[in-house]
Amino acid sequence: MYISNATLTQEMADAWCAKRDTEANRSHGTRTQVVRMFVDYLRRRELTDVTPPATFRPESRIRAP
Per-residue pLDDT of the chain (65 residues; tens, 9 = 90+): 777 878 888 988 888 888 889 988 888 888 889 889 999 999 999 999 998 887 766 666 677 77
pTM value is 0.71
Length of the chain: 65
CA distance 57 to 37: 16
In contact, 19 and 56? CB cutoff 8 Å: yes
